[in-house]
Structure 1
Amino acid sequence: MQQICVLGSTGSIGKSTLDVIARNSDRYHVRSLVAGKNHQLMLEQVRQFRPEIAVMADTAAADKLRLAVKNEKLKTEVLSGAHEIALAAAESAVDTVMAAIVGAAGLLPTLAAVKAGKKVLLANKEALVMTGSLFMESVKQSGAVLLPIDSEHNAIFQCMPRNYGEGLGKVGVRRILLTASGGPFRETPIDVFPEITPAQACAHPNWSMGRKISVDSATMMNKGLEFIEACWLFGAKSSQVEVVIHPQSIIHSLVDYADGSVLAQMGNPDMRTPIAHALAWPERIDSGVAPLALADIGHLDFYEPCMRRYQCLRLATEAASAGGTAAAMLNAANEEAVDAFLVKHLRFDKIAEVVDFTLQSLPVARADSVDQVLDVDRQARILAKQQIHRLSHIA
């Protein structure tokens, strides 16, 4: 019986993870649940899964949850704060950690799980984007098992030879082909981008995701972050990773080999597939996902992304090439810009402008420590907020 810690249990990935666990309750026990402010949903999860520990990032939310747990005479211990979140991720009783806290907030608890040598199911791409070599070195030193949850990286992992860590060239891999749906605006005229609303940006045609990730998918920043993540996960140079638009989201990514073979992983667009794969790896379990009906799909399309349409993707690939602290700056500026867009303080077409301004305003340095990366993250957010304020006051 594997003991599971779910970081970000009330989010989209967290809920899908718990769905898979519920289908395989003879194999997995939820040891701990971690969330931000949604104490109502957390209470429902505590009722169903009866974890030993529940941690809320928000103290007020934890107080409300604690009272409800006490009133219902549940035995779950309720804790709060960043320190307790990291402790839950690294707890000795935990075997596997689902790292699904969105954004930079997921960095420290994910690193705590890695340093404790856990089996880490990585759904938080920002942790790896921000710290890169530091993160991968921690995985190596601790002996942690790192399994990707993003559908694209999980697909690449499934198509890679087991010994890819020896170097892609040495194992015959020529390219990684990272697929992208293109988001909801792949055919929208660029001149109407200034009028795009948060509701429109969050209406993804294929995937059910949180609001922040949905906006990132609309700008293709999500694919840019995945581009950076793929380089670190698989030891690839930026020249060895290519992005291709695939509107149907059926082929989740491909690996191109030197002999001309191209291996692809296919499936319905449902995050329970990569979650189930990583939970049970190297075995296979039921995920609840319907079988793929190729005859109903009929055809699969592919084309190159237009960098004029997807400026955030261009900025991310440039940050990948720059290395050092560039990706941390990119991520911080994007988080601030997306937050501003979601509350209608910034136009959709200005998100990339805020990110570009921030990258141009800060020098790129070596990422020598987590503290340094966090300091760069703080500086980038200050600059991004200043630019957002300026842009919001332009008539």
Structure 2
Amino acid sequence: MRITGMRTTPVAVPFRTDEIWAFGRRRGQVSVLLELETDEGVVGLGEAATYPSADIVLAVFASLEPLVVGADPLRIEQLVRRIDVVGTWHHVGASSPAIAAVEMACWDIAGKVCGQPLVNLFGGRFRDEVEFFWYVARAEPDEVAEEGRRATAAGFSTCYLKVGADGPRRDVERVAALRDGAGSGARIRVDANEAWSPGSAVRVIRELARYDLELVEQPVSGRNLDEMAHVRSRVDVPLLANEASWTRQAQLAVIKAGAADVISVDNQMDDGLANLRRSAGMCEAAGLPVVKHSLGELGVALAAAVHALAATPNARPAHQAYGALLTDDVVDGFGGPAANYARGHLAVPAGPGLGVELDRDRVERYADLYRREGAGFGFHDRERVHAAAALPKF
């Protein structure tokens, strides 16, 4: 079997409310869908988050084509190493969601050829369903409280809130409102996106601790592990590494530095699903659970993540997905808006490969939206394009 073509389709799916974080916002999810065609008629699906932008991811796909077309899609490790070494990504020191999408599509082909769901190629189900959190993406305390009530009513057990406002009092008000809205039984996870200095992080986390936080994600710079370890040694709330841990090499450094209690892993930022599972194994050896990070994903990438996480024993906490924000999706019967989740969980798809298929009408609808309005869906906040932004904020 040989790969004969790569078909890419950028799509834009709106959120029901803007995603807002310490230094920006976006109004919806832009992904590039990949269809990897073969000479035997088997087509593999992949999906790339458009990070840092759609134009860059599409350019990476174009650069990968000479390395991918003609390859055997069942020799996944060989193909990824070719991209890494011959394609020089090893020297870049980072990866691209486009590479992960190629690897994902190859796994989809492998599952279809074997007639097995992808989870079985990863060792079988350790769990039958995977838990995700409710993304609280509103700013005002009364809105945050309402989102907490909405999460509880929808059956989600974990709420995730962006903090890192321009002043700490605002964050305290919002976390208090979330606890009030979600109730005493909900788990609350906050994410500062590197917004705090070490001293500020210790002070703010100690103040927020009275609201019984599950985790604080990346309170300080991910580039200074000594700072993270310093904060961890001075607070009682467990810390989750994210910006510090997007690759296996970075995760190993976090483990060595004793800088986190939980480590975030992301197949889209580290060459694919096989490496996500390598990351999880490394963290398991260190006695640490892992959480899947998301740059935003639709049903194709979400299905791939569910297969991998279901087969990974230490993928225990609720993971990141965008069900609380998405208004629609591009696949049939999986992922998408929160109504498609059962108590915040998604069951592992049962079909061969990823077990999902594209809804062609919706793909065309959201491809057309991307063509017309794609520039308005970017990661940056247009109101802050010319702002003098810097981290930490205080």
Please indicate, yes or no, whether the TM-score normalized by the shorter chain is above 0.5: no
Higher helix share: 1
> TM-score scaled by structure 1?
0.29
> TM-score scaled by structure 2?
0.29
